[in-house]
Amino acid sequence: MSVRTRGVAVLCLLVLAAGCSDLPDLSDDEAAACAELTAALPDRVAGEDLTDDTDRTAAWGGIELTCGVGLPAAYDDFSSCSVVGDVGWFLPPAELKDPSADVTVMALTYSPRVSVLIPAEHRGSDEVQVAIAAAITSTLAEGDPCL
């Protein structure tokens, strides 16, 4: 299975686990913004080389970014997020329970929204979000602030 195929399969599983049936369609402007984002992403994140990228996705080893995702099922008006690199990142509370598990954080303060799968070995550090944040803030439209 290629890295690209594995990444799509993992993303589909994550989207289904989050309570979504598939990725939302993007407007032409959102698709252009995602393409601009993926073109601006760094070649290395958390010591991992860029192994795959499209106009909507990128992967550095097990770290996987998807642009143009819906709101996670666990997010509501009372949810909080952490600001790292001027981007508000939401982590579903249920994903905090097992520190040995992969997590998916979502950049909710820019549009289109971005999700990033962070493998367990990269948890405990903001290194992944910091590396990606500059590309998000320089290419995507600022949205609602984080709580």
Distance, in Å, from the CA atom of 117 to the CA atom of 64, rounded to the nearest integer, reads: 5
pLDDT at 65: 97
Q: Say how many C-beta atoms besides its own lie within 10 A of residue 81's C-beta.
A: 19
pLDDT band at 7 (very low <50, low <70, confident <90, very high): very low
Asked if pLDDT for residue 4 goes beyond 50, the answer is no
Calpha distance 72→32 (Å, rounded): 22
pLDDT of 8 higher than 80: no
Q: How far apart, in whole angstroms, are the C-alpha atoms of residue 80 and residue 8?
A: 28
Mean pLDDT of 63-92: 91
CA distance 121 to 89: 19
Asked if 86 contacts 92 with a C-beta cutoff of 8 angstroms, the reply is: no
| pLDDT score at 124 | 82
The answer on pLDDT for 72 being more than 70 is yes
Question: What was the pLDDT predicted at 107?
Answer: 94
Average pLDDT of the chain?
Answer: 84
The pTM of the full predicted model, rounded to 2 decimals, is 0.82
Strand runs labelled E in the chain: 44-45, 48-53, 57-60, 63-67, 82-84, 87-90, 103-107, 110-111, 114-118, 141-142
Range with the largest mean pLDDT of 73-77, 88-92, 113-117: 113-117
Type of residue at 69: V
